[in-house]
Amino acid sequence: MEVKALGHVVLYVRDLKQSVKFYADVLGWRQIFPHKERVGMSPIAVFSSGRTHHELLLIEVGSHAAPLPPNPRVGLYHIGLKIGDSDNELREAKARLEQAGVPITGASDHTVSHSLYIADPDGNEIELYIDVPGVDWHTDPSLVLSGIKPLRL
């Protein structure tokens, strides 16, 4: 067996309407299946960038759900979402996040990529990144493990 691509991410969320607003309105995901009640099942919302049938599925579990435990913890650290190919696109994303009142929790230069870090309404960390043009990590894979530097946009 060989993994060909990361296909999709499924997240449990407390408040589906709030999460849909975040993922659709703030991050710009295209919702392909509306959030709705399903008989005998939890409400869901489905999103796609157009690359595949769905890349993000949200399942509402309600306000009684336990919060994410503090770090260090086992499990998902963050989701990385490529949002473009230039720092200009990252600057545009930063402005959009600031306009929407979404706190930016970090900004990093990873040599191969430039990243902004945010959290969704349930505290799941999201990395919004661009691949740095001209960095050839295929020829030198050690670049992927370069030291992390502060990013100045």
Query: Which residue ranges form the domains of the chain, and what is each CATH number?
Result: 9-60 (3.10.180.10), 78-150 (3.30.720.110)
Beta bridge partners of 45: 58
Within 10 Å of residue 76's Cβ, how many Cβ atoms? Answer: 11
pLDDT digits (tens, 9 = 90+) for 30-74: 999 776 666 678 889 999 999 999 999 999 999 999 999 998 999
110 CB-contact burial (10 Å; exposed 0-12 / middle 13-18 / buried 19+): buried
Mean per-residue pLDDT, 111-123: 98
> Can you give the pLDDT at residue 39?
63
Residue 109 CA to residue 64 CA, distance in Å, equals 38
pTM for the model stands at 0.93
Structure tokens at 46: 């489905």
> Can you give the pLDDT at residue 36?
65
In Å, the largest CA–CA distance within the chain is 52
Q: Which of 120, 122, 108 is nearest to 25 (CA)?
A: 120
- For residue 15, pLDDT over 80 is answered with yes
